[in-house]
Amino acid sequence: MNMLDQTWYPVARADELTMRHVFQGQLHGVELALWRSDIGRVNAWENRCPHRSVRFTLGVNTGEKLRCQYHGWQYRSGDGRCTLIPAMSEVAPPSSLCARTFAATQVNGFVWVNLAAEDKASAEMTFLPSFEPLPLALRSLTFNASLDTVAAGLARYADGDRDALSGTSQVQRNDVEINLSWQTPSGERQVRFWLQPADEFKTIVHGSANLLGMGEPEALRWHNGLLTTLRRYVESRESPLARLPSAKPATSPRLIPIVQSTAQDSQLDGRTIIRTIVAERWNTAEEIAGFKLALPDGEHLDFEAGAHLDVHTPNGLVRQYSLVNAPDERDHLVIGVKLEPASRGGSRSLHESLQVGDSLTVSAPKNHFRLVPDVGGVLIAGGIGITPILAMSTALQHAGLPYALHYFTRSKEHVAFTDRLAGLDGLKLHTGLAVDATRDEVDRALREIGSDGHIYVCGPRPLIDLVCERASSIGIASAHVHFELFANEVSHDTDQPFRVRLQASGTEFVVPAGVSLADALKAHGIAVDTSCEQGVCGTCRIAVIDGDPEHRDVYLNEDEKQSRRCLMPCVSRSRSELLVLDL
């Protein structure tokens, strides 16, 4: 049996993943922590926290996150990213810190997992066995025997029915699916089993049956009795492949190393830097410039509506801008930049200096403003806040989910991206409204929302406050109101930029303030292995030929630090203007 064969297996009945529970499962020797978030998303993770490998099943499902019992680290539903490390509660966890997730889906009352699907998006499209359960969902039963032994045993299932007419039993096996039928005086009994290979010596039998002359409770007990009896027979056979429940498990759990992203991966995350080229620029509205940024050759990014980038402005600052992209636009980036007069000039330098053909360094997309999956919503944008909202509305329209977009601007001239707005059916434009009128429109918009719906708002602080307050006053749960505030101040710029020279090639570049040396190296195509990204673990260590490193790690000992011959690029920088690296 191939370790990670490309197959979907049932791992639990859907109703076994109860509210705020963490289900312990197993497939091909890999232990799984299966849990459902409060909004219904199913997660299948390797049962091991990446911090110190303690089982996730000891931890707690908070409804949105899985919290590891050992140190309270929290991992979010969906992509499994770590979102909180209580021992360092003020610092964002490294983006590489992630539970090992597997593709999981819920179909026809069962949870299915595919261990081999690295890329969940493509996994969704991989062929799922087409199966129809019969009307009655049976209690799943664990057999301490190999899959083939269990399959052979199940062929005799009908023997347990005293009413079975002899010679009428039919068995059909299709890999892990087994179909049985036999005749009784009251009619035909049918049972359909799916086998889950938990490990080499353990198989879980999931089944369904037709109801024939029995009520559901009685039928469940009857089938459970048959299967339990059959299990006694299968497990007690003199067979090297069958085992009784005993002290030690036959095999220790199989471990899959938590995959860390390296420079070689094309999987870019929020800490990686990308050099784009300005392909187009235009005035999309009064004071708002649109930029279309081309990605390096053949690059293609994965992000969701609501994402934003860090943009390194021509005058050396770093500013955040949301992506306007529609769901099918992933080979270039579109942003809208508003000219902010009362700021340090980041937006001004973009407006005044950035021309078509220039290169612009940006981070890979990050997202703190995601759409809740599978539900519609009311979206409210004020001014430049339209940028993420436009992407999100487009995504909802593409997904066929109900939405209404309310876009408030000062005047018609301030309406941005009119060509994209023209394609949106759910758009309601409000221009030139005074405060009272705005509040009335917001009230009207909020009242249209269904009980499941969510509200997304982006724009100036007063608009966000207004929407939150009005939503609360009509009883909408705060967990259903999502907002993103554009702060004009940036995170700290206290770092000094410095120059780096790579000895082998002679290449020189600047590491700007706010960008780590490791990320800058990766952006210039140098493979740097990173892990903790906090200067603790020693993975990223590189050799220094000349210059004065500014050590910010806790890994190197005093001698190593004073030798100035090495440093940890994930956190450390340079005191000298130039740092020459042995790379």
Using the rule CB under 8 A, is 251 a contact of another protein? no
Using the rule CB under 8 A, is 183 a contact of another protein? no
Lay out the site mask for another protein across 542-581 (x = CB under 8 A, - = otherwise).
------------xx-x------------------------
Residues 403 to 462 in contact with another protein, rule: CB under 8 A = none
DSSP E strand boundaries for 346-487: 359-363, 377-382, 403-409, 427-431, 454-459, 481-485
Angle at CA 319, nearest 5°, toward 313 and 320?
Answer: 130
Using the rule CB under 8 A, is 537 a contact of another protein? yes
Q: Which is nearer to another protein, 25 or 197 (CB)?
A: 25
Using the rule CB under 8 A, is 72 a contact of another protein? yes
Which DSSP string corresponds to 81-142? BEEE-GGGTTSPPPTT-B--EEEEEEETTEEEEETT-SSHHHHHHSPPPP----SEEPPPEE
- C-alpha closest to that of 192 among 153, 252, 135: 135
CB 204 within 8 A of CB 142: yes
Using the rule CB under 8 A, is 244 a contact of another protein? yes
Residues 345 to 374 in contact with another protein, rule: CB under 8 A = none
Using the rule CB under 8 A, is 95 a contact of another protein? no
Among 21, 120, 275, 344, binds another protein (CB under 8 A): 21
What does the DSSP 8-state code read for residue 8? -
Q: Which CA distances in Å does 365 have to 122, 311, 486, 516, 566?
A: 20, 10, 16, 17, 31
Q: Which is nearer to another protein, 174 or 246 (CB)?
A: 246
Which DSSP string corresponds to 501-528? EETTT--EEEE-TTS-HHHHHHHTT---
Using the rule CB under 8 A, is 16 a contact of another protein? yes
Among 4, 14, 24, 576, binds another protein (CB under 8 A): 24
Among 27, 36, 45, 50, binds another protein (CB under 8 A): 50
Distance of closest approach, residue 216 Cβ to another protein, in angstroms: 9
Task: Please tell me whether residue 242 adopts helix, strand or coil conformation.
Answer: strand
Produce one character per residue of 13-48: b if its CB has 16 or more CB atoms within 10 Å, e if not: bbeebeeeebbebbbbbbbbbbbbbeeebbbbbbbb
Lay out the site mask for another protein across 195-214 (x = CB under 8 A, - = otherwise).
-------x------------
Using the rule CB under 8 A, is 527 a contact of another protein? no
Angle at CA 516, nearest 5°, toward 513 and 520?
Answer: 95
Task: Please give the size of the binding site for another protein, defined by CB under 8 A.
Answer: 70
Task: Please tell me whether residue 304 adopts helix, strand or coil conformation.
Answer: coil
Distance of closest approach, residue 296 Cβ to another protein, in angstroms: 27
Instruction: Please write down the HEC assignment for all residues of 137-183.
Output: ECCCEEECECHHHHHHHHCCHHHHCCCCCCCCCEEEEECCEEEEEEE
Please identify, among the stretches 64-72, 102-110, 279-287, 429-437, the one whose residues bind another protein according to the rule CB under 8 A.
64-72
Q: Which is nearer to another protein, 100 or 292 (CB)?
A: 100
Among 165, 255, 429, 485, binds another protein (CB under 8 A): 255
Q: Which is nearer to another protein, 481 or 532 (CB)?
A: 532
State the residues that interact with another protein by CB under 8 A. Answer: 12, 16, 18, 20-21, 23-26, 31, 47-48, 50-55, 58, 60-63, 69-72, 85-91, 93-94, 96-97, 139, 142, 202, 217, 220-221, 224, 228, 244-249, 252-253, 255, 257-258, 260, 529, 531-532, 534-539, 554-555, 557
